[in-house]
Protein backbone atom coordinates (compact mmCIF):
# COMPACT_ATOMS: atom_id res chain seq x y z
CA UNK A 1 0.00 0.00 0.00
CA UNK A 2 1.17 3.53 -0.79
CA UNK A 3 2.36 5.60 2.17
CA UNK A 4 -0.24 8.17 3.23
CA UNK A 5 -0.46 11.11 5.60
CA UNK A 6 -2.60 10.03 8.54
CA UNK A 7 -3.85 12.38 11.23
CA UNK A 8 -4.67 10.63 14.46
CA UNK A 9 -7.00 12.42 16.88
CA UNK A 10 -6.84 10.99 20.38
CA UNK A 11 -9.64 11.77 22.81
CA UNK A 12 -9.82 11.02 26.52
CA UNK A 13 -10.59 7.40 27.25
CA UNK A 14 -8.61 4.69 28.98
CA UNK A 15 -8.09 2.99 25.58
CA UNK A 16 -5.78 5.88 24.68
CA UNK A 17 -2.98 3.82 26.22
CA UNK A 18 -3.17 1.58 23.14
CA UNK A 19 -2.64 4.42 20.68
CA UNK A 20 1.18 4.32 20.63
CA UNK A 21 0.81 0.74 19.32
CA UNK A 22 -1.56 1.99 16.59
CA UNK A 23 0.95 4.69 15.64
CA UNK A 24 3.73 2.10 15.40
CA UNK A 25 1.60 -0.13 13.17
CA UNK A 26 0.77 2.74 10.83
CA UNK A 27 4.41 3.84 10.72
CA UNK A 28 5.49 0.28 9.93
CA UNK A 29 3.22 0.33 6.87
CA UNK A 30 5.09 3.45 5.79
CA UNK A 31 2.49 6.09 6.65
CA UNK A 32 3.38 9.50 8.06
CA UNK A 33 1.43 9.96 11.29
CA UNK A 34 0.68 13.16 13.19
CA UNK A 35 -1.23 13.18 16.45
CA UNK A 36 -3.62 15.67 18.00
CA UNK A 37 -4.60 15.05 21.61
CA UNK A 38 -7.53 16.54 23.50
CA UNK A 39 -7.02 17.92 26.99
CA UNK A 40 -8.57 14.82 28.53
CA UNK A 41 -6.53 12.44 26.33
CA UNK A 42 -3.39 13.83 28.00
CA UNK A 43 -4.60 12.25 31.24
CA UNK A 44 -4.35 8.80 29.63
CA UNK A 45 -1.43 8.92 27.21
CA UNK A 46 1.62 11.10 27.25
CA UNK A 47 2.08 13.43 24.27
CA UNK A 48 5.81 12.76 24.56
CA UNK A 49 5.20 9.03 23.96
CA UNK A 50 3.11 9.82 20.88
CA UNK A 51 5.72 12.28 19.67
CA UNK A 52 8.47 9.69 20.07
CA UNK A 53 6.65 6.87 18.25
CA UNK A 54 5.31 9.12 15.48
CA UNK A 55 8.57 11.09 15.12
CA UNK A 56 6.39 14.19 14.58
CA UNK A 57 5.41 17.02 16.91
CA UNK A 58 2.16 16.35 18.75
CA UNK A 59 -0.42 19.14 18.72
CA UNK A 60 -2.38 19.84 21.90
CA UNK A 61 -3.80 23.33 21.86
CA UNK A 62 -5.54 25.62 19.39
CA UNK A 63 -4.14 28.79 20.88
CA UNK A 64 -0.50 27.83 21.41
CA UNK A 65 1.48 30.27 19.30
CA UNK A 66 4.53 28.04 19.00
CA UNK A 67 2.42 25.05 17.88
CA UNK A 68 0.36 27.13 15.45
CA UNK A 69 3.56 28.65 14.11
CA UNK A 70 4.88 25.23 13.11
CA UNK A 71 1.74 24.03 11.34
CA UNK A 72 -1.52 25.86 11.86
CA UNK A 73 -4.72 23.92 12.46
CA UNK A 74 -6.11 24.45 8.95
CA UNK A 75 -2.81 23.40 7.37
CA UNK A 76 -2.93 20.29 9.57
CA UNK A 77 -6.51 19.52 8.45
CA UNK A 78 -5.44 19.94 4.82
CA UNK A 79 -2.26 17.88 5.31
CA UNK A 80 -4.25 14.76 6.27
CA UNK A 81 -5.15 12.22 3.61
CA UNK A 82 -7.06 10.25 6.23
CA UNK A 83 -8.17 11.07 9.77
CA UNK A 84 -8.60 8.48 12.50
CA UNK A 85 -10.24 9.31 15.84
CA UNK A 86 -9.20 6.71 18.42
CA UNK A 87 -10.41 6.33 21.02
CA UNK A 88 -13.52 8.37 20.20
CA UNK A 89 -15.38 9.24 23.41
CA UNK A 90 -19.15 9.79 23.58
CA UNK A 91 -18.42 13.48 24.03
CA UNK A 92 -16.26 13.69 20.93
CA UNK A 93 -18.81 11.77 18.83
CA UNK A 94 -21.52 14.18 20.01
CA UNK A 95 -19.46 17.24 19.08
CA UNK A 96 -18.56 15.73 15.73
CA UNK A 97 -22.21 14.96 14.97
CA UNK A 98 -23.28 18.47 15.97
CA UNK A 99 -20.41 20.22 14.20
CA UNK A 100 -19.07 21.80 17.39
CA UNK A 101 -15.50 23.09 17.15
CA UNK A 102 -14.41 24.25 20.58
CA UNK A 103 -10.87 22.88 20.77
CA UNK A 104 -8.06 21.91 18.41
CA UNK A 105 -9.26 18.33 17.81
CA UNK A 106 -12.86 19.23 16.95
CA UNK A 107 -11.77 22.25 14.89
CA UNK A 108 -9.45 20.12 12.76
CA UNK A 109 -12.19 17.48 12.41
CA UNK A 110 -14.60 20.12 11.11
CA UNK A 111 -12.03 21.62 8.76
CA UNK A 112 -10.67 18.48 7.14
CA UNK A 113 -12.00 17.02 3.89
CA UNK A 114 -10.17 13.73 4.34
CA UNK A 115 -12.05 10.45 4.93
CA UNK A 116 -12.76 9.89 8.58
CA UNK A 117 -12.60 6.72 10.65
CA UNK A 118 -13.69 6.67 14.28
CA UNK A 119 -13.06 3.98 16.87
CA UNK A 120 -15.51 4.59 19.74
CA UNK A 121 -14.68 3.50 23.29
CA UNK A 122 -16.90 4.09 26.29
CA UNK A 123 -19.04 2.53 29.00
CA UNK A 124 -21.70 0.16 27.62
CA UNK A 125 -24.58 2.33 28.87
CA UNK A 126 -23.09 5.43 27.27
CA UNK A 127 -22.70 3.50 23.99
CA UNK A 128 -26.29 2.26 24.04
CA UNK A 129 -27.76 5.64 25.12
CA UNK A 130 -30.21 6.96 22.52
CA UNK A 131 -28.17 10.18 22.22
CA UNK A 132 -25.03 8.25 21.27
CA UNK A 133 -27.00 5.95 18.95
CA UNK A 134 -28.38 9.00 17.13
CA UNK A 135 -24.93 10.61 16.88
CA UNK A 136 -23.39 7.42 15.48
CA UNK A 137 -26.24 7.10 12.96
CA UNK A 138 -25.68 10.72 11.85
CA UNK A 139 -21.96 10.15 11.41
CA UNK A 140 -22.55 6.90 9.56
CA UNK A 141 -24.94 8.65 7.15
CA UNK A 142 -22.27 11.25 6.51
CA UNK A 143 -19.87 8.54 5.38
CA UNK A 144 -17.82 8.37 8.57
CA UNK A 145 -16.55 4.85 9.09
CA UNK A 146 -17.20 3.43 12.56
CA UNK A 147 -14.75 0.73 13.66
CA UNK A 148 -15.95 -1.26 16.69
CA UNK A 149 -16.50 -1.01 19.56
CA UNK A 150 -16.12 -4.60 20.67
CA UNK A 151 -17.92 -6.42 23.44
CA UNK A 152 -16.07 -7.56 26.53
CA UNK A 153 -14.92 -6.55 29.96
CA UNK A 154 -14.78 -2.77 30.27
CA UNK A 155 -12.30 -0.78 32.35
CA UNK A 156 -15.23 0.73 34.29
CA UNK A 157 -16.17 -2.72 35.58
CA UNK A 158 -19.17 -3.26 33.28
CA UNK A 159 -19.40 -6.00 30.66
CA UNK A 160 -20.70 -5.30 27.17
CA UNK A 161 -20.10 -3.30 24.01
CA UNK A 162 -17.75 -0.41 24.48
CA UNK A 163 -14.15 -1.62 24.19
CA UNK A 164 -12.16 0.16 21.52
CA UNK A 165 -11.39 -2.04 18.50
CA UNK A 166 -7.82 -3.36 18.67
CA UNK A 167 -5.10 -1.29 16.94
CA UNK A 168 -4.75 -4.09 14.37
CA UNK A 169 -8.44 -3.82 13.43
CA UNK A 170 -8.29 -0.01 13.24
CA UNK A 171 -5.18 -0.14 11.02
CA UNK A 172 -6.88 -2.83 8.89
CA UNK A 173 -10.00 -0.71 8.42
CA UNK A 174 -7.84 2.25 7.42
CA UNK A 175 -5.96 0.17 4.87
CA UNK A 176 -9.28 -0.98 3.44
CA UNK A 177 -10.42 2.59 3.10
CA UNK A 178 -7.20 3.71 1.42
CA UNK A 179 -6.05 0.54 -0.27
CA UNK A 180 -5.74 -0.31 -3.95
CA UNK A 181 -8.92 -2.21 -4.72
CA UNK A 182 -7.59 -4.79 -7.22
CA UNK A 183 -10.54 -7.08 -6.41
CA UNK A 184 -13.22 -4.38 -6.41
CA UNK A 185 -16.49 -5.71 -7.80
CA UNK A 186 -15.42 -9.30 -7.17
CA UNK A 187 -17.19 -11.63 -4.75
CA UNK A 188 -14.86 -13.96 -2.87
CA UNK A 189 -16.04 -16.80 -0.63
CA UNK A 190 -13.54 -18.31 1.80
CA UNK A 191 -14.13 -21.22 4.16
CA UNK A 192 -11.99 -21.56 7.27
CA UNK A 193 -11.44 -23.61 10.39
CA UNK A 194 -12.26 -27.16 11.33
CA UNK A 195 -15.86 -28.31 11.22
CA UNK A 196 -17.35 -30.04 14.26
CA UNK A 197 -19.57 -33.07 14.00
CA UNK A 198 -21.81 -33.75 17.00
CA UNK A 199 -21.56 -37.15 18.67
CA UNK A 200 -24.06 -36.42 21.42
CA UNK A 201 -25.39 -33.41 23.31
CA UNK A 202 -21.92 -32.37 24.52
CA UNK A 203 -19.29 -34.16 22.43
CA UNK A 204 -18.01 -33.45 18.94
CA UNK A 205 -15.60 -34.91 16.41
CA UNK A 206 -13.21 -32.06 15.62
CA UNK A 207 -9.81 -31.47 14.07
CA UNK A 208 -6.78 -29.30 14.73
CA UNK A 209 -7.36 -26.59 12.13
CA UNK A 210 -7.12 -23.13 13.76
CA UNK A 211 -8.71 -21.24 10.88
CA UNK A 212 -5.77 -18.78 10.77
CA UNK A 213 -4.96 -19.41 7.11
CA UNK A 214 -8.56 -18.95 5.92
CA UNK A 215 -9.04 -15.82 8.06
CA UNK A 216 -5.82 -14.37 6.59
CA UNK A 217 -7.08 -15.04 3.04
CA UNK A 218 -10.43 -13.41 3.79
CA UNK A 219 -8.65 -10.39 5.34
CA UNK A 220 -6.48 -9.98 2.25
CA UNK A 221 -9.41 -10.37 -0.17
CA UNK A 222 -11.33 -7.65 1.70
CA UNK A 223 -8.25 -5.44 1.74
CA UNK A 224 -8.18 -5.76 -2.05
CA UNK A 225 -11.73 -4.52 -2.25
CA UNK A 226 -13.58 -7.83 -2.78
CA UNK A 227 -17.00 -8.41 -1.30
CA UNK A 228 -15.73 -11.11 1.03
CA UNK A 229 -17.74 -13.80 2.74
CA UNK A 230 -16.05 -15.97 5.33
CA UNK A 231 -17.80 -19.22 6.15
CA UNK A 232 -16.20 -20.01 9.49
CA UNK A 233 -16.19 -23.15 11.58
CA UNK A 234 -16.00 -22.40 15.35
CA UNK A 235 -13.05 -20.07 15.96
CA UNK A 236 -12.14 -17.41 18.50
CA UNK A 237 -10.34 -15.37 15.82
CA UNK A 238 -11.75 -11.87 15.28
CA UNK A 239 -13.60 -11.19 12.03
CA UNK A 240 -11.22 -9.28 9.72
CA UNK A 241 -12.32 -5.72 8.79
CA UNK A 242 -14.72 -5.56 5.86
CA UNK A 243 -15.50 -9.29 5.92
CA UNK A 244 -19.02 -10.73 6.24
CA UNK A 245 -18.76 -13.78 8.45
CA UNK A 246 -21.15 -16.72 8.55
CA UNK A 247 -20.61 -19.01 11.52
CA UNK A 248 -21.35 -22.68 11.01
CA UNK A 249 -20.45 -25.85 12.92
CA UNK A 250 -20.86 -28.96 10.81
CA UNK A 251 -19.76 -29.96 7.32
CA UNK A 252 -23.39 -30.04 6.18
CA UNK A 253 -23.95 -26.48 7.45
CA UNK A 254 -20.75 -25.38 5.74
CA UNK A 255 -21.92 -26.98 2.52
CA UNK A 256 -25.25 -25.08 2.58
CA UNK A 257 -23.59 -21.76 3.37
CA UNK A 258 -20.79 -22.16 0.81
CA UNK A 259 -23.14 -23.18 -2.00
CA UNK A 260 -25.55 -20.34 -1.25
CA UNK A 261 -22.78 -17.73 -1.15
CA UNK A 262 -20.76 -19.16 -4.05
CA UNK A 263 -23.60 -18.79 -6.54
CA UNK A 264 -22.52 -15.33 -7.70
CA UNK A 265 -18.89 -15.55 -6.57
CA UNK A 266 -15.90 -15.20 -8.88
CA UNK A 267 -13.57 -16.94 -6.44
CA UNK A 268 -14.05 -19.67 -3.85
CA UNK A 269 -11.21 -20.71 -1.56
CA UNK A 270 -11.88 -23.82 0.54
CA UNK A 271 -9.30 -23.38 3.30
CA UNK A 272 -11.46 -25.19 5.85
CA UNK A 273 -10.61 -28.60 7.23
CA UNK A 274 -13.95 -30.21 6.51
CA UNK A 275 -14.64 -33.42 8.43
CA UNK A 276 -14.74 -36.30 5.97
CA UNK A 277 -17.05 -38.30 8.24
CA UNK A 278 -19.83 -37.53 10.70
CA UNK A 279 -21.58 -39.75 13.22
CA UNK A 280 -24.49 -41.46 11.45
CA UNK A 281 -26.80 -40.14 14.12
CA UNK A 282 -25.98 -37.70 16.91
CA UNK A 283 -27.42 -38.74 20.26
CA UNK A 284 -29.77 -36.03 21.48
CA UNK A 285 -28.69 -36.64 25.09
CA UNK A 286 -25.28 -37.03 26.65
CA UNK A 287 -23.97 -40.60 26.42
CA UNK A 288 -23.36 -41.82 29.97
CA UNK A 289 -20.39 -43.99 30.76
CA UNK A 290 -22.50 -45.68 33.45
CA UNK A 291 -24.61 -47.17 30.63
CA UNK A 292 -21.64 -49.32 29.58
CA UNK A 293 -19.81 -51.82 31.77
CA UNK A 294 -16.13 -50.96 32.28
CA UNK A 295 -13.88 -52.39 29.56
CA UNK A 296 -16.72 -52.51 27.04
CA UNK A 297 -16.27 -50.69 23.74
CA UNK A 298 -18.54 -48.10 22.25
CA UNK A 299 -18.94 -48.17 18.48
CA UNK A 300 -19.62 -44.96 16.62
CA UNK A 301 -21.00 -45.41 13.17
CA UNK A 302 -19.70 -42.77 10.78
CA UNK A 303 -20.96 -41.74 7.36
CA UNK A 304 -19.10 -39.85 4.61
CA UNK A 305 -19.71 -36.13 4.34
CA UNK A 306 -20.22 -34.61 0.89
CA UNK A 307 -17.05 -33.19 -0.68
CA UNK A 308 -17.94 -29.50 -0.98
CA UNK A 309 -14.87 -28.66 -3.04
CA UNK A 310 -15.53 -31.42 -5.59
CA UNK A 311 -19.18 -30.37 -5.83
CA UNK A 312 -18.20 -26.76 -6.53
CA UNK A 313 -15.72 -27.85 -9.19
CA UNK A 314 -18.38 -29.86 -10.99
CA UNK A 315 -20.58 -26.77 -11.42
CA UNK A 316 -19.99 -25.03 -14.76
CA UNK A 317 -18.83 -21.39 -14.90
CA UNK A 318 -15.88 -19.04 -14.94
CA UNK A 319 -15.38 -19.23 -11.18
CA UNK A 320 -11.89 -19.86 -9.83
CA UNK A 321 -12.04 -22.63 -7.21
CA UNK A 322 -9.07 -23.22 -4.92
CA UNK A 323 -8.61 -26.15 -2.56
CA UNK A 324 -6.17 -26.95 0.23
CA UNK A 325 -4.37 -30.21 0.82
CA UNK A 326 -2.91 -31.01 4.22
CA UNK A 327 -0.49 -33.87 3.64
CA UNK A 328 2.06 -35.56 5.84
CA UNK A 329 4.20 -37.15 3.08
CA UNK A 330 4.67 -37.01 -0.71
CA UNK A 331 3.03 -33.61 -0.43
CA UNK A 332 3.24 -32.48 -4.06
CA UNK A 333 2.33 -35.84 -5.57
CA UNK A 334 -0.65 -36.20 -3.25
CA UNK A 335 -1.76 -32.67 -4.11
CA UNK A 336 -1.50 -33.37 -7.85
CA UNK A 337 -3.72 -36.43 -7.45
CA UNK A 338 -6.20 -34.47 -5.34
CA UNK A 339 -6.34 -31.69 -7.89
CA UNK A 340 -7.06 -34.14 -10.71
CA UNK A 341 -9.69 -35.97 -8.64
CA UNK A 342 -11.56 -32.87 -7.53
CA UNK A 343 -11.04 -30.76 -10.63
CA UNK A 344 -10.09 -27.45 -8.99
CA UNK A 345 -8.05 -24.61 -10.47
CA UNK A 346 -5.33 -24.60 -7.86
CA UNK A 347 -4.35 -26.63 -4.81
CA UNK A 348 -2.46 -25.12 -1.91
CA UNK A 349 -0.55 -28.04 -0.44
CA UNK A 350 1.04 -27.96 2.97
CA UNK A 351 3.16 -30.41 4.83
CA UNK A 352 1.49 -30.92 8.20
CA UNK A 353 4.39 -33.00 9.47
CA UNK A 354 6.57 -29.85 9.73
CA UNK A 355 6.83 -28.46 13.24
CA UNK A 356 7.42 -24.84 12.23
CA UNK A 357 4.31 -24.50 10.05
CA UNK A 358 0.75 -25.61 9.55
CA UNK A 359 -2.20 -26.03 11.86
CA UNK A 360 -1.89 -23.76 14.88
CA UNK A 361 1.16 -21.85 13.69
CA UNK A 362 1.22 -18.27 12.36
CA UNK A 363 3.48 -19.37 9.53
CA UNK A 364 2.98 -21.72 6.64
CA UNK A 365 5.18 -23.31 3.97
CA UNK A 366 2.99 -24.18 1.02
CA UNK A 367 3.31 -25.41 -2.54
CA UNK A 368 0.92 -24.05 -5.17
CA UNK A 369 -0.01 -26.90 -7.50
CA UNK A 370 -1.68 -26.12 -10.87
CA UNK A 371 -3.74 -28.36 -13.16
CA UNK A 372 -0.77 -28.65 -15.55
CA UNK A 373 1.13 -30.26 -12.69
CA UNK A 374 3.46 -27.29 -12.11
CA UNK A 375 4.36 -26.80 -8.46
CA UNK A 376 5.58 -23.49 -7.01
CA UNK A 377 7.07 -23.96 -3.56
CA UNK A 378 6.86 -20.84 -1.37
CA UNK A 379 9.31 -20.45 1.53
CA UNK A 380 8.15 -20.47 5.17
CA UNK A 381 6.13 -17.23 5.41
CA UNK A 382 3.66 -15.58 7.78
CA UNK A 383 0.11 -16.67 6.86
CA UNK A 384 -0.71 -13.06 5.91
CA UNK A 385 2.07 -13.18 3.30
CA UNK A 386 0.97 -16.61 2.04
CA UNK A 387 -2.51 -15.05 1.63
CA UNK A 388 -1.06 -12.18 -0.42
CA UNK A 389 0.85 -14.48 -2.75
CA UNK A 390 -2.13 -16.79 -3.13
CA UNK A 391 -4.41 -13.88 -4.01
CA UNK A 392 -1.85 -12.55 -6.52
CA UNK A 393 -2.05 -15.96 -8.21
CA UNK A 394 -5.86 -16.06 -8.01
CA UNK A 395 -6.07 -12.57 -9.55
CA UNK A 396 -3.99 -13.80 -12.49
CA UNK A 397 -6.25 -16.85 -12.96
CA UNK A 398 -9.32 -14.61 -12.77
CA UNK A 399 -7.79 -12.14 -15.22
CA UNK A 400 -7.04 -14.91 -17.71
CA UNK A 401 -10.68 -16.03 -17.56
CA UNK A 402 -12.57 -12.81 -17.86
O1 LIG B 1 -9.96 -34.61 0.36
P2 LIG B 1 -9.31 -33.68 1.32
O3 LIG B 1 -10.10 -33.47 2.58
O4 LIG B 1 -7.89 -33.97 1.61
O5 LIG B 1 -9.30 -32.29 0.54
C6 LIG B 1 -9.04 -31.09 1.15
C7 LIG B 1 -9.74 -29.97 0.41
O8 LIG B 1 -11.08 -30.31 0.13
C9 LIG B 1 -9.83 -28.70 1.23
O10 LIG B 1 -9.82 -27.60 0.35
C11 LIG B 1 -11.16 -28.84 1.93
O12 LIG B 1 -11.69 -27.58 2.28
C13 LIG B 1 -11.99 -29.53 0.88
N14 LIG B 1 -13.01 -30.46 1.41
C15 LIG B 1 -14.34 -30.24 1.16
N16 LIG B 1 -15.30 -31.10 1.63
C17 LIG B 1 -14.95 -32.20 2.30
C18 LIG B 1 -13.59 -32.48 2.55
C19 LIG B 1 -12.65 -31.57 2.10
O20 LIG B 1 -14.66 -29.22 0.53
N21 LIG B 1 -15.87 -33.01 2.74
Domains and CATH numbers, the chain: 5-178 (3.40.50.1950), 187-401 (3.40.50.10300)
Q: Which residues line ligand 1 (CB under 6 A)?
A: 191, 251, 270, 272, 274, 276, 305, 307-309, 323-325, 338
**Closest residue CA from atom 4 of ligand 1:** 325
pLDDT digits (tens, 9 = 90+) for 8-22: 999 999 999 999 999
In the chain, which stretches have pLDDT less than 50? none
156 given a catalytic annotation: yes
Quick: pLDDT tens for 331-389: 999 999 999 999 999 999 998 888 777 677 888 899 999 999 899 999 898 898 899 89
Mutate-to-test residue for ligand 1 from 190, 196, 309, highest number of ligand atoms within 8 A of CB: 309
Please state, as a whole number, how many other Cβ atoms lie within 10 Å of the Cβ of residue 16.
Answer: 25
**Is there a contact between 84 and 19 (Cβ–Cβ < 8 Å)?**
no
Q: Whose CA is nearest to atom 19 of ligand 1?
A: 274
CA dist list (Å): 349 to 218, 260, 327, 372, 381 = 18, 26, 7, 15, 14
The pLDDT score that the predictor gives to residue 154 is 85
Residues 260/236, Cβ–Cβ less than 8 Å: no
**How far, in Å, from the CA of 260 to the mean position of ligand 1?**
18
CA of 342 to the centre of ligand 1 (A): 9
Residue nearest to atom 2 of ligand 1 (CA): 325
Give the model's pLDDT for residue 1: 64
Closest to 243 (Cα-Cα) out of 217, 269, 274: 217
Q: Which residue from 276, 307, 322, 345 has its CB within 8 A of the most atoms of ligand 1, so it is best to mutate?
A: 307
What does the angle CA 360 – CA 250 – CA 214 come to, to the nearest 5 degrees? Answer: 35
Question: Residue 173, by phi and psi: left (phi above 0), alpha (psi -120 to 50) or beta?
Answer: alpha
Amino acid sequence: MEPRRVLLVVSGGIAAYKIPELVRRLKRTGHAVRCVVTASAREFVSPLTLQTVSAEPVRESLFDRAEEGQIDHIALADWAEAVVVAPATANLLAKLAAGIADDLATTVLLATRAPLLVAPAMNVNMWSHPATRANVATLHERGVEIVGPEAGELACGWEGEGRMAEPEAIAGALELRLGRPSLAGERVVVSAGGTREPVDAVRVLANRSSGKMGFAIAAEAARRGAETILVAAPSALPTPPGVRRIDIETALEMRDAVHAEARSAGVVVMAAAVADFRPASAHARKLKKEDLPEGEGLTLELVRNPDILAELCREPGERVVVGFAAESHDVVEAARRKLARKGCDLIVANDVSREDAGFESDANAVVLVSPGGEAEALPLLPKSEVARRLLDRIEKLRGARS
